[in-house]
Amino acid sequence: MRGTTVMPGTNKRNGSEAGSGGLPIHRLEVPMPNTLPFAIGTFDTIGPMSRASFPHRHTFHEIVYVTGGTGSHVVDMNRFTLRPPHLCFIAPGQVHYWDGVRGLEGCVIVFTDDFLLEHPTDRSLLRRLGRRPWLELPDREAAWAARLVSEMDHEYRTGAEGFGGVLRALLHILVVRAARLPAPGRLLRKAAQVPGSVARPASMATRFVALVSTPQTLSWSVRECAGHLGVSVSYLNEAVKSAMGRTPGELLREARVHEAKRLLACTELTVRQIADRVGFNDPAYFCRFFRRETGTTPGDFRRGGGDIHHDHRIASIAHPGPAA
């Protein structure tokens, strides 16, 4: 897995997307089927994008455990002053950057939705945490957060047998416990609005993501989703692309693939039954769709135990250059 940063105005044919709301999009790519879609490390080992000082968004989840430093962190135009220790949760599509930071220390955890197959409810918890991303940690909470992050880092670095399952379990505990913490008493002053960020499109994008995250809506078209949300297809496309840097169609396809992977990994449903549950009447077409989106067939994915990400880890997701 490696990181690439898509700069605005680049061409999709070159592996990037144009018209992304004027903000760079950082994405994780998994080039091999047995690469774990997860990484943990320091700000230095994860790479310079982990402390980027310019507004950008991700296609993956990021959890930041800050243990030292001064300055501020801006998430969706809300500015938070560093008073370590903190936990910060950044969901896919959220805009964030570090401002005036010195001596930043701590741990960064990044992972894709594919890493959450065994804990599907964690997706909604993480997006809920993204709406109140900055959590201060009193002594007791700081102790268990430090312990969980340290155990994840140890498991990831040693790579002992079954470490992927242990990482998922530890991440699940961290997410659930963080969701229990009270929201910050107040947000600090609003940061200056960044290009492509407006409140209503962000709210509409959040509603759309929540809608397509439920199995009952995976068979819906983008038009049906727009009708349910009470907006036109053109407005939904504009709002979601502005807030997330991706189209509703792309997010809907991603949701279908994620649910198909979960059903293949965790149930004994047939491929035909799974195809029907994720909105495909034709199993053959579903198989072609799955292979196009994942690079493997449903049968091969299932024969791999659903967890084909079993061994390879990444040393860094460093920003490779000014454009990718």
**For the chain, how far is it from start to end, CA to CA, in angstroms?**
15
pLDDT at residue 56 greater than cutoff 90:
no
Q: Are residues 90 and 6 in the same domain?
A: yes
State the CATH number of the domain containing residue 10: 2.60.120.280
Q: Are residues 260 and 154 in the same domain?
A: no
pLDDT tens digits along 226-241: 998 888 999 998 888 8
pLDDT at 185: 53
Cα(221)–Cα(239) distance, integer angstroms: 17
List the structure tokens of 15.
Answer: 């592996």
Q: What percent of the chain has pLDDT over 70?
A: 78
List the structure tokens of 293.
Answer: 């989106």
Q: Are residues 155 and 251 in the same domain?
A: no
pLDDT at residue 77 greater than cutoff 60:
yes
| Higher per-residue confidence, 186 vs 222 | 222
pTM: 0.69
**pLDDT-based confidence at 324, cuts 50/70/90?**
very low
Give all strands (DSSP E) within the chain, no chain letters.
2-6, 25-29, 38-41, 56-58, 61-75, 78-81, 86-90, 95-111, 134-136
Query: Mean per-residue pLDDT for 279-293?
Result: 92
Average pLDDT taken over every residue of the chain:
80
pLDDT at residue 81 greater than cutoff 50:
yes
Q: Which domain holds residue 295?
A: 199-303
Q: Are residues 148 and 262 in the same domain?
A: no
pLDDT tens digits along 89-117: 998 888 899 999 999 999 999 998 888 88
Number of domains in the chain: 2
- Asked if 109 and 40 count as a contact pair (C-beta separation under 8 A), the reply is yes
**CA angle (118 as vertex; 58, 312 as ends), nearest 5:** 65
